Structure 1
Amino acid sequence: MAVPGKKVHKTFSSPSTMGSDEDHQVYCQPCDRDGPRLPAHGYCKDCREHLCDTCVAAHKKHTLSRHHTLLDKNSMPEIISSASIHPCQLDNFTKPCPRHIKEMIKFYCQNHKALLCSVCVTLEHTGTSCNVNYIPNISDKVINSKELQDILKAMNTINEQCHKKSEDVMKIIAKSNSSLTYVLSDIKKFRKEINQRLDELERHAEDAANAILQENNKNLKTVQTTFNDVTKSLKTSSDAIEHLNTSKEADKLYMELKYAERMIKDYETRVHHLEAYDVKKYTFKPNKAISTLLNNLRSVGTFTENSLKQQSPPPAVDLKSRQTSQEGKICVETSKDKDICRIIGMTLLTPDLLIITDCNNDAVKMVDTCSQSVTAQLKLDTWPQDVSSVTRTECSVTLPGKQNILFISVSSNKLKKKQTLKVDGDCYGISCCQGKLVLSFYDPAKLQILDTNGTVLTTVRGENIFSRPGYVTTNTNSIYVSDWEMQTITRLNWQGEVIGSYGGMTRPRGITLSDDGTVFVCDRKRNDIEEIAGDCSTGKVVLRDLNEPFAVCRCAETSKLYFSCHTWKDKHDNKLQVFKLS
């Protein structure tokens, strides 16, 4: 039986299928979704829904809809557009609200960019400033929308970034693992060095103990021989006395007794002397310094960390174009030389005073750049390698053969030896800056930073960093090292951390800094001199077609570049080349 005021449920029809009067009846759409179908007595233009009397009243009271535009029964549209059919379909909300588990998300706040349930809307988004939309009313706009395309594009970009970062992390971890392989090798090598030194000390102690043991055995043999001789002699004399006494041969007995009396005194002296032997008992007392060291040790060494984190590369430095012109040549051969010159180190103390090392003639020479002549020469008892200015009147020279640094005073065209500094290896390159010395070593390959007293402040080593570090140059910010075997220029900070590297060389040798922070390097194999940016990002050749350039020095005040050649031909090696680079 029909209930008064209610209609029997029917399937909603589109306008194209409406035919009967009942079909033209417009029903309340909210009620149509949840319960009995009721005739519509109003229409909301904002929600695009027909409403019954009850829904109209509720619509006017609810915070979200009280400002909507409502049409009465006479003004409302009688035919439902296709756009209004969508809200009449059953809700398909399946995502629960994370804050109100029993409620489904049905709304979206445009102001707060938040998905909401009914409870969220009622409690937190009721203000007039919140533009809250019912999702079915706005969802049809997202299909094939620009927003959809942008989000998919952003997701794809992030996915590609994740893939690339994953590959980068794998490479970094591989480098880290590789460095740890070197660490393990260095630990074993260090342990081997410790073992060899301890074995050497042990052999010395054993040799000392064996020497004492041999001395004791020698003394024991002497004592035993003496006692045996005394005992044997006394027995022979005693038997003779008894025999002569029995046979009553008085004359012979008298003489034998006198011999025995003298023998007794002699033997008493010998026995007393043997008793005076100071034979000692020995115990072993470990070296206190070694014991203390072992007790205080907490590790065999420490790890030096260098970040492998991928960073944005520094901006490429635009090396300015330089005008180059040859200024001439300076002959550095003197009458004291016994061999062809081989200039392998040079430094400027002043614009007109150049100090060079000649390893073939075991000499340090002073060159006047104005007169272009050698004005002083200091003969050494070993060959010098590199040289660096300490002050305007002092320089330091490396002597690899003696593992020393020699300090030389410079005054009035005279070079004079001062003190020497012992180092722990065959030192080659040297540079002095900020009261510190930076030295390079070949075997083992390493770099050391020392104070002027010889105290080692920092040591940098590692097969992945250095192989044959030859020359160094420094400023207040950086240390640059040329490694001819690795074919690199390595940049470090004063903490010994690698902060840059340039690999565009074939046989880098001498190295010097320009006043603008760029680096000039001799490439002996390629017969050129290259200028490298201070951050080691770029480089370019400034002088080419040279004769195996070796050592180099730059004067900021005159813009002149001095360099030597190493060809084993006197016409090249006995002269310094002078170029102006501006």
Structure 2
Amino acid sequence: MPQEFYFEKCSTHPGQLIKFYCSECKKEACKKCKDNGHVNCRDIAHLPTLASDIQKSDELINFNKNMDQLSKDIKDTEKLLNAKSEVIKKQEENATDACIEHSNKLIATYKQQHQDLIDEFDKKMEETIARLKKERLELLQKVSEKERQFEEKVRKAETNIKEEVVKTNTNFKKLKFEHLNLVGNLKALTVDLEQAQKLGQNCELLIKLKLVKQMCKQIQVTTGQIQHSYIQQYKLLVSDIPPKVKSLENQKRFFSFDKVHASGVERRLTFIFDINHEFDCITSLLVLSEHTLLASDYDRCSLVIFSLEKSNAKYIKEIRFKTQPCGMTKVSDHKVAVTFPNKEKIRLITFSEEIKVLDTTEIPGHGFCFGIAHSNNYLVVSYYKSFTGSIKILNMLGKIVKSFNKDDNDQNLFPIPDFLTVSPDNTMIYVSDWSSNTVTCLTFDGKVKAIYKDDQLKRPQQLAVDEYESVYVCGCHSNNVHQLSHDLTKVKILLDNSHGILRPTSIAYCRKHKRLFVRMDYSSKIKVFNVSLE
């Protein structure tokens, strides 16, 4: 006979004791529940029998071992929550203070303008004092009512904009509340679980253990969401204060609230370390994985492989070819596509987990192919010859699917389109042109959406895009790296001489660790930076 008993009664059948546990439904059951509600369940067991060995089970032992790590993760997450909450609170306070300050200025200006009218009227009172006293009283009443209406109008606009400010980052606030609620419930359940374990209440312990494990999974989900959550940035713009009363009365909008796209938020870079190497003509960089960086060396006809560690990196291997490689793109976790323009070929190279070449497939390049990017199982390739460039989209067998080289006005799009990349959502192509000193954004149908040209960007080369759609482009002859928004609006010059940047040509971004790799001409170093939002 079983030696364990569970004296909780069924909520559906109060006269029945809970005697069973269904592993498929993850629910306890009485005899009637078992017979009626779990007819098709194959994994339903007698609860005391199932719980008899719970104290020595691997499930309980492993759970106890993992609780310390989960507690540490919870504490770290709470710190992150507090930090992000402080940023949001500060934003709200600043926006609220700005609203109040501008509202007061509007009202004060409006009142002052009316006071000027009153003062001017007072000067005429000496000539017609009797008549003007009555008129002045009427004017005061009229002005007072207008001021009341105007103040009500401004305060309403102020209230509306405050509500918009508070609604911003609502999702993060909800996530914060959900996470804190889960953590609170977990703490309470953990106490119950420990109590049941101490008292030897194995059935109670089994039930609580199942609940705690489910809640732990939910906390891990919210923890990941918090770590990758984006705090919406915004700008609060106030209207100009016109000099005339009538203009103020007719003004319909006193505030504007503009959300800033994540790609337009300024990035902050922190230098981590240099990757030292002995390769003179690295053409492009590619992050193959969080542990591997590839570089194409044009002069040495090779691919160079670097191993990336937490605090440094080192050269580990060189793969030689008979002709010069140029552009590279990641096709899958262990597969890359490399252009060989002088041979008018593209090679698909598959690596093992130890970064050994397992397979190489050659497909047609259809001309002097240079830059390359992978998108939705297609290859986007840039070409140029005699200062006439084009973009072609190939399937993975090398067949041309689309080709475009002219804009809507039938003008050539690019003289020398060296490098290109695609947006994270695979809707846009970004192309740098060495000759025209431009970066062009276009759709996969060849429609130009935006062109970036700046006096501080000269001879642009390789580009990179982060997960928030910010575009990074090397300015080789301007000795800098520009950060652009998704629509090619200039955000800032991210790197320049003050960061040790001289003739940058190659750039790559690691989304896993949020790192930027920058290689420069005539330098034996690849600089590595941490990237964070301002």
- When normalised by structure 1's length, the TM-score is 0.43
Structure whose alpha-carbon radius of gyration is higher = 1
Tell which has more relative contact order, 1 or 2 (C-alpha 8 A, sep 6+). 2
- From the two aligned structures, give the one with the greater strand fraction: 2
